[in-house]
Structure 1
């Protein structure tokens, strides 16, 4: 091939592309590897389908004067472009820690903003791989600028809009501070890697200024941000983080302007596991494991739990029913008896917002004795947080099916569904409901009669028998206040039928609001 009249410029393009592929240079890349971390380009290769990454802005760089020689051109420490994940096109935004520790004074802010805008306007899912020490740069950057500036967040208008339009996944793969931490939580699914990633508003050197001497792990490691709900998942390796991103996206459409596709149909919708008939103990004080029930009802192996480390009295996740993607919420009696706390209410809101944004039907497996009671619940404001969750349920527009497993009590229990919508709802024989459980409720309602009785204990015992008869679920069914009481083994078939019916009702388009971080 003969040389072009533009050969010098073409050679310069090639040289700069090669330099960009080397990130911060061999020494900095090796330092990254010595910390047990992949570098930015290795992460892209491990995450996406082979050969599918098409980079945008490879020539973006920071120019630095060098005394006595030509300016140094350092590649920007943010890599972006499009790629395919399991065949689906996505936008990637990848921090490069090998240049200025991933801080934005080593970046070109327009490039980050372009990445967010690209996902929004092309209506493509966005995956952020985060590994950076801050958003605004260091004090050194002020010397380079010759001034300070009023803080702003590059591309944040698109970051906000993306939560309402496209699936956003954020993987914390190293220390993530400031704006990086904000980008981590501004997502539909966020992940941290144990031993590699920490998240904080400001790191230990800055926190030392307020008198706290802490390590990165103590300040913002996974044992801090898993239980407090800052992130949705904690994994043990970068490869697990990549797998979590791919699996999460597999349940969702590429944007709100589509509906999620039906997945592979690999499980018999009529499958009935016999052990479900005895899954709920007859003794109402005896707990049971709800996750095996979820696994039995949904397609085998399809349940993908979200937020397992926080708000643990509620279990949330995504699953498939006869191939159709659905959101799943369930009470866990092993934690506070299934009572909703402020964190479990927030977790429920997060799932409901996700489902409503991306048109996923909701299956609610109900065992909820109400909002958390007692001094701890009152101090935490459980009633306010709980009512926010109920409001989210009433604002949701997606098809909804409730299965009443056991306790459904009080204001919290009223959140099992929107009672004015068509009720796709059925109960197991173990279900019980009312304004209050009879234990404690009788003592409150008949205080004067108990005090006046010659035998208070016998009065309470007889009253409990009377109330138990009135609380029989069959009396409720007679009044059609519950649509059906079923053999638990029939539940999967009923839920698969619900999912098939719901699939026809899904409508593409934006909802009133997207997920709120």
Structure 2
């Protein structure tokens, strides 16, 4: 006998109720603000027709303090699996039109079950966050639910990539789950992320602060450093997510999606020789070097608006995916400070757990001096860079462009910190400190006794550079693999990456190192 038409009709009716969760009026109101629905967001992410929803009928009848029983279709979140550029991806999208997207027991279970499936299947998780926080009516169950999600975020860390899109409200406990993921993308409009709102801040501290000061994409991207990318709108957020995903493996036992060119090109790029100013103190923008180093000048910069003295991001070099870390002399002379050390260390550690080779471009006069930096813990923060590079076992290629002074030279992945190959340009200076500072310490008497102290100082500085800071001195001591023309950089780095892709390194057995957090 055929299945009863009444049952099929009932199924279709229940599906339509779930699909229309929140109601037409609320959806129309959001569209006026330029907001997509929770389902539309997933439709934009996945290849059409590939989304398999988990828990369509799951919901929790919520008793509103005994006064009213409310039904939350889907419990305010849509979860499932689909394909992005031919690869399976797990995703969830919180639905603000259903109970403000607040997290309750079933809401949490749907996300937790999705994470369990993704970890077992080895696929990334993309979360689209739009939630008012914990569902107050469910009390301790909502808090327990957040704990379950946070626990999965941590279990998944370093196993599968986790990307969070902040596309609406992300308040209170809701903000901590994205903070535990690998990358945060936040829309410029209609999105806020904070733990305590203006009223709570005022009640607790007496300070008056507007959301624009601490909760917007701009504030998080440039000041707090919580957000890695600002999206102009939700469509842009999805586009950034797909671009980022194109550089990442699906899990930690796979290689990133390399697309090696059939033949390694060693062709020289004469324009690279023109980028670096002759004066070692003159600033220049390292983005110019990166653009000529990577394929088609296609560089996805991460944390672009935060700690701009260090540039990090993803690119391909003759088809091979690489993480790029570079000092930027155009900002704070390229020094490492508290924020840039944190930024760099976290990026290196991400690359390491997901098998992405690291290419480091060095032009650093040292760590940022100053009372605020010292009192703020520059020692502890700078040590994170040392720890991150030394603990990384992926291929590490370093190019010393100009200055490489003191402990900061080591913090930018010298041979002693585990670089597999170190190339230096003829303009490189490798020393404890700059030549001018060194001669003032070493030759005080000679400079003072000279008829023209400034000329003597200049003469001694030039001599110091040649005898003690020259890249050839470092090469003679096997601290540099080769001294190369800037024009040769792209070809040499490409060949170095190819030659180290098979690298395997065993470390002493341990649970994990104790990074200076």
Q: TM-score normalised to the size of structure 1?
A: 0.90
* 1:33-78 deviation digits (Å, cap 9, x = unpaired): 2222111011111111111110000001132579xxx965321101
Which of residues 281, 289, 295 is equivalent to 2:291?
Answer: 295
State the alpha-carbon separation in 1 of the partners of residues 332 and 94 from structure 2: 40
* 1:321-367 deviation digits (Å, cap 9, x = unpaired): 22111111111001111100111111111111111101111111111
Counterparts in 2 of 1:117 and 1:511: CA distance versus 1, 3 Å: farther
The answer as to 2:371 corresponding to 1:375 is yes
Give, in angstroms, the shift of residue 287 of structure 1.
1.2
- Where do residues 179-198 of structure 1 align in structure 2 (5 Å cutoff)? 179-198=173-192
SS of residue matched to 1:308: coil
Calculate the aligned-residue CA RMSD, in Å: 3.1
Does structure 2 conserve the Cα–Cα contact (< 8 Å) formed by 1:222 and 1:234?
yes
Moved more, 415-424 or 393-402: 415-424
The answer as to 2:241 corresponding to 1:245 is yes
Which of residues 413, 418, 435 is equivalent to 2:432?
Answer: 435
What's 1:133 paired with? 132
Does structure 1 conserve the Cα–Cα contact (< 8 Å) formed by 2:323 and 2:351?
yes
What's 1:363 paired with? 359
- Where do residues 125-164 of structure 1 align in structure 2 (5 Å cutoff)? 125-134=124-133, 136-138=134-136, 140-142=137-139, 153-164=147-158
Does structure 2 conserve the Cα–Cα contact (< 8 Å) formed by 1:313 and 1:335?
yes
What's 2:214 paired with? 219
What's 1:96 paired with? 95
* 1:488-514 deviation digits (Å, cap 9, x = unpaired): 111111111122122233699x99669
Counterparts in 2 of 1:515 and 1:492: CA distance versus 1, 3 Å: farther
Moved more, 378-387 or 476-485: 476-485
Counterparts in 2 of 1:36 and 1:148: CA distance versus 1, 3 Å: closer
State the alpha-carbon separation in 2 of the partners of residues 293 and 107 from structure 1: 50
What's 1:47 paired with? 45
Counterparts in 2 of 1:349 and 1:52: CA distance versus 1, 3 Å: same
SS of residue matched to 2:159: coil
SS of residue matched to 1:504: coil
Give, in angstroms, the shift of residue 454 of structure 1.
6.7
Which of residues 491, 494, 510 is equivalent to 1:493?
Answer: 491
Counterparts in 2 of 1:212 and 1:52: CA distance versus 1, 3 Å: farther
* 1:249-296 deviation digits (Å, cap 9, x = unpaired): 111111112112322749973343321112111111211121121111
What's 2:26 paired with? 28
Moved more, 154-163 or 456-465: 456-465
* 1:220-254 deviation digits (Å, cap 9, x = unpaired): 11221001210111121111111111111111111
State the alpha-carbon separation in 2 of the partners of residues 249 and 123 from structure 1: 14
Does structure 2 conserve the Cα–Cα contact (< 8 Å) formed by 1:40 and 1:94?
yes
The number of residue pairs the alignment matches comes to: 509
What's 1:344 paired with? 340
Does structure 2 conserve the Cα–Cα contact (< 8 Å) formed by 1:100 and 1:106?
no
Give, in angstroms, the shift of residue 216 of structure 1.
2.6
Does structure 1 conserve the Cα–Cα contact (< 8 Å) formed by 2:218 and 2:230?
no
Does structure 2 conserve the Cα–Cα contact (< 8 Å) formed by 1:160 and 1:186?
yes
Does structure 1 conserve the Cα–Cα contact (< 8 Å) formed by 2:362 and 2:399?
yes
Counterparts in 2 of 1:12 and 1:101: CA distance versus 1, 3 Å: same
- Where do residues 72-471 of structure 1 align in structure 2 (5 Å cutoff)? 73-75=71-73, 76-105=75-104, 108-134=107-133, 136-138=134-136, 140-142=137-139, 153-210=147-204, 211-227=206-222, 228-263=224-259, 265=261, 269-417=265-413, 419-420=415-416, 421=418, 423-447=420-444, 450=447, 456-470=453-467, 471=469
Give, in angstroms, the shift of residue 299 of structure 1.
1.2
Does structure 1 conserve the Cα–Cα contact (< 8 Å) formed by 2:294 and 2:315?
yes
Give, in angstroms, the shift of residue 458 of structure 1.
4.8
Does structure 2 conserve the Cα–Cα contact (< 8 Å) formed by 1:23 and 1:29?
no
Q: TM-score normalised to the size of structure 2?
A: 0.90
Unaligned stretches of 5+ in structure 2?
Answer: none
Give, in angstroms, the shift of residue 214 of structure 1.
3.4
Moved more, 278-287 or 472-481: 472-481
State the alpha-carbon separation in 2 of the partners of residues 355 and 512 from structure 1: 19
SS of residue matched to 1:330: strand
Give, in angstroms, the shift of residue 428 of structure 1.
1.0
Counterparts in 2 of 1:60 and 1:275: CA distance versus 1, 3 Å: same
Unaligned stretches of 5+ in structure 1?
Answer: none
The structure, 1 or 2, with the larger RCO (C-alpha pairs under 8 Å, 6+ apart) is 1
* 1:401-427 deviation digits (Å, cap 9, x = unpaired): 101111100001112325344641111
SS of residue matched to 1:176: strand
SS of residue matched to 1:460: helix
Give, in angstroms, the shift of residue 115 of structure 1.
2.0
State the alpha-carbon separation in 2 of the partners of residues 457 and 80 from structure 1: 70
State the alpha-carbon separation in 2 of the partners of residues 163 and 515 from structure 1: 16
Moved more, 270-279 or 34-43: 270-279
Does structure 1 conserve the Cα–Cα contact (< 8 Å) formed by 2:27 and 2:37?
yes
